[in-house]
Structure 1
Amino acid sequence: MKNTLLLGLCSALAACSSPPNQRADIVIENAQIIDMQTGAISAKQSLAIRDGIIIKRSDKPLSSHYQSSTLIDAKGQYVMPGLWDMHVHFGGGDELIEENKQLLPLYLAYGVTTVRDAAADLSESVLSWREQVKQGQLVGPTIFTSGPKLEGKGSIWPGDLEVETTEEMHAATLAGPKFLNKQQQYGALSEGKVADLILLSENPLVDIRNTQTLKGVVSHSTFYDSNALELLKQQAKAFVASQP
């Protein structure tokens, strides 16, 4: 009987002292997570993030279960999904391609983790940036884009696709129903959701201006703390100042 109890105690101690056996890119602990549907706030929450997805949410610490390259203690901070800008235009012609690209990090610097490009005249570049951001080759928000704007024959706007034939009309109408059907992937901080999120020092439900109390941003499995966000702003300012 004693041997059985001793064996059980040894097994329990071994389990407690064993190193984390699962991988995560980022682990966040002690967070106050905001439910954007109900406004409820859950205290002492932990998130494990891998490959840009929340793989585990718990009311217990997760650092003992997940080996991560970044561990964030969010004590006293509020965590919510990243902000979306649903109406931007990347445009200005070929001479402004580089300027549009260089200013992409500014979105993250202010907590905007996703944008919807509502068409302009840089569609080929925007599609390229979208993939570069997705692959971690470019710092910027997740980009959804409509591609070139559809207009009738004789459009005055540069970059438009002019719809003239029956075939072109069918293509334009069939693509629409698929537009941004992303509710299953975004909008909440739960398991399986995309881990684009922001950390705030004040509660935005009390005052919407508290979204300006940004302490950190998680985007594409990368954590940008307040120093990194300020650096993004300074780099953007330097680029603008360098332009003729």
Structure 2
Amino acid sequence: MKTAFKKITLLLFVCTLGSSCQPKQHVKEISPTLILISKANVIDVRTGQVRSGQNIYIDSGKIKEISALEIDDLSQYRTVIDAEGQYIIPGMAEMHAHIPQPSTSQERLEDVLFLYLSNGITTIRGMLGHPDHLALRKKVQDKAILGPRIFTSSPSLNGNSVKTEEEAIEKVKAYQKAGYDFLKIHPGIQRNVFDKLVNTANEVGIPFAGHVPVDVGIRHALESKFASIDHVDGFLEGLVPESANVDPASNGFFGYNFTPLADTTKIDELVELSKENKVWIVPTQSLFERWFAPTNVDSLLAEPEMKYMPKSTLENWKRIKLQTLENSGFSVSQWEQFDAIRRSLIKKLQDNGHGILLGSDAPQLFNVPGFSVQHEMQGMARAGMQPLEILQSATINPVIFFDMEDTFGEIKEGMEADLVLLAGNPLDDLKNFTKVAGVVARGTWISNAEIEKRLKDIAERASKN
């Protein structure tokens, strides 16, 4: 064990001719800010292997040492977390999150950030940016506010906000200069404007991600090298044969209207394009199994995590879901076919594409921040993804995406200390992802007791709004 983390008494014997040897003591104290997690089962997110009996030493926000050596005296450490029998994974990333807008109270903003943390989400990628989110990103980074690490998009680039090539050039440059992490693409952008946006983004060095505008189409979107395409947007439309001669704008909810026309033999071609152009996919499958799905509204509202959302929000969610199903020509049989195609796409994009990132689109209809990733993981499993693949989509894949493999995403010495303690092995049962025993967010320890207390307070506040 490294001497920086042990109280070591070093006896230096100074002997000279004709004199006796006299011992001199040198004592190095243990840092008072050191956190020791003892006897943990550590999961390697690259291989799925489990290393048992691991002691993890955390200080100054980083993992300083990992060792399986026996510790003789735990009383010398001020903060000791007994993790015997528990499993530790890296903090997870929610890659399609939404950060509250400025009209939200500061209290509610901090509640939402904590909801993510309470479920082991230590990194979020905000998908609808605002200038205030740049300041929030800095406050979280400086630990002025407790929350997950933030990456934020620009404000929406869509058919209304960028109607001309000149507007595209102006806004891309402005958002890059302001410091946004990436550009958010929404529907409605015309192809010539999109191409100018892409060229400018490449020139100034800012990635772009999000939706596939109808006029752009999935093939051109992939060839344009989106950083990520979210919701598997545009893929189903790309399965419709040209001979069908459809109006692309009549695609409905993410291509739902074209479901009967989809030629699934075209899936492999699109998957290969995504791999060739290194485009990540964020499925947000829970959105299609909870909002646009024949799932009973009252059963969704009865789920335990709904108590963390304001009553007004829940009422709005119910209204929108019912209106969507009533006004979209929804039928259960067509939805089942639609869902089967989506699952096939997700599975093949995982197996043969560039890769999958975990993202649930929270808070969106019936997707409560943090808790929604549990539903997303189950959806990914129903699509055929294995537990290790799902874990990788939330840990190592995001850091590869951000090109930050030397910063976080794994449990290794020198990494930022983002960790989740789980009562069971999530690779044995995905339900173990819900059994959070504690979270470390960039070196800050959040115990299970603190999580439960904060969640109770959040629920009480939500019940009054």
Question: Which TM-score tier does this pair reach, normalised by the shorter chain?
Answer: 0.7 to 0.9
Q: How does 1:190-205 map to 2 (within 5 A)?
A: 190-205=412-427
2:161 aligned partner: 155
Q: TM-score, normalised by structure 1?
A: 0.78
In the comparison of the two structures, how many residue pairs are matched?
225
Matched letter for residue 172 of structure 1 = A
Q: CA deviation at 1:130?
A: 1.7
- Deviation readout 1:126-174 (Å, 9 max, x if unpaired): 222222222222121111112323346x339xxxxx5245984465331
Conserved 8 A contact 1:97-1:125: no
- Deviation readout 1:37-61 (Å, 9 max, x if unpaired): 1010001111111221111111125
Conserved 8 A contact 1:132-1:138: yes
1:143 aligned partner: 150
Give me the whole-angstrom Cα distance separating, in 2, the residues matched to 1:63 and 1:204.
31
Q: How does 1:49-128 map to 2 (within 5 A)?
A: 49-61=58-70, 69-91=78-100, 93-96=101-104, 98=106, 99-120=108-129, 123-128=130-135
Structure 1 residues not aligned, in runs of 5+? 157-161
Q: CA deviation at 1:72?
A: 1.1
2:43 aligned partner: 34
Matched letter for residue 429 of structure 2 = D
Query: After alignment, is 28-37 or 52-61 more displaced?
Result: 52-61
2:407 aligned partner: 185
Q: TM-score, normalised by structure 2?
A: 0.43
Q: How does 1:5-20 map to 2 (within 5 A)?
A: 18=27, 20=29
Give me the whole-angstrom Cα distance separating, in 1, the residues matched to 2:146 and 2:418.
13
Query: Highest Rg: 1 or 2?
Result: 2
Greater strand fraction, Structure 1 or Structure 2: 1
Matched letter for residue 188 of structure 1 = E
Going from structure 1 to structure 2, the CA distance change for 1:242 and 1:192 (only over 3 Å counts) comes to same
Report % sequence identity: 30
Q: CA deviation at 1:222?
A: 1.6
Going from structure 1 to structure 2, the CA distance change for 1:148 and 1:69 (only over 3 Å counts) comes to farther
- How large is the Cα RMSD of the aligned pairs? 3.2
Give me the whole-angstrom Cα distance separating, in 2, the residues matched to 1:227 and 1:63.
27
Matched letter for residue 146 of structure 2 = V
1:226 aligned partner: 448
Give me the whole-angstrom Cα distance separating, in 1, the residues matched to 2:171 and 2:84.
59
Going from structure 1 to structure 2, the CA distance change for 1:234 and 1:22 (only over 3 Å counts) comes to closer
Structure 2 residues not aligned, in runs of 5+? 1-14, 174-196, 209-226, 228-400
- Highest RCO, 1 vs 2 (Cα 8 Å, sep ≥ 6): 1
Going from structure 1 to structure 2, the CA distance change for 1:165 and 1:117 (only over 3 Å counts) comes to closer
Matched letter for residue 163 of structure 1 = A
Query: After alignment, is 32-41 or 138-147 more displaced?
Result: 138-147
Give me the whole-angstrom Cα distance separating, in 2, the residues matched to 1:127 and 1:166.
16
Matched letter for residue 133 of structure 1 = V
SS in 1 for 2:109: helix
SS in 2 for 1:237: helix
